[in-house]
Amino acid sequence: MTTTTLAPVAVRSNERLMAAALAAFLGLGLVFMAGFSPAIALHNAAHDFRHAQNFPCH
């Protein structure tokens, strides 16, 4: 009699690999966007985010 317990394990492993690859891709995208954008653009984005969250920044 054969068992089918190996298939779900392989799917979970594949899902973990895809999740790690997606996280790495998004993380590298954020690093490159922050690294190549002008400093004033990052400041303005952070400033606007602080105001949107009702966090005092002045």
Sign of the torsion angle spanned by Cα atoms 50, 52, 56, 58? positive
pTM score? 0.51
What pLDDT, on the 0 to 100 scale, is given for residue 24?
96
Tens digits of residue pLDDT in 15-52: 999 999 999 999 998 888 877 878 888 888 888 888 88
What pLDDT, on the 0 to 100 scale, is given for residue 8?
58
What pLDDT, on the 0 to 100 scale, is given for residue 23?
96
Tokens 């303005």 belong to residue:
44
Secondary structure in 3-state letters for the chain: CCCCCHHHHHHHHHHHHHHHHHHHHHHHHHHHHHHHCCHHHHHHHHHHHHHHCCCCCC
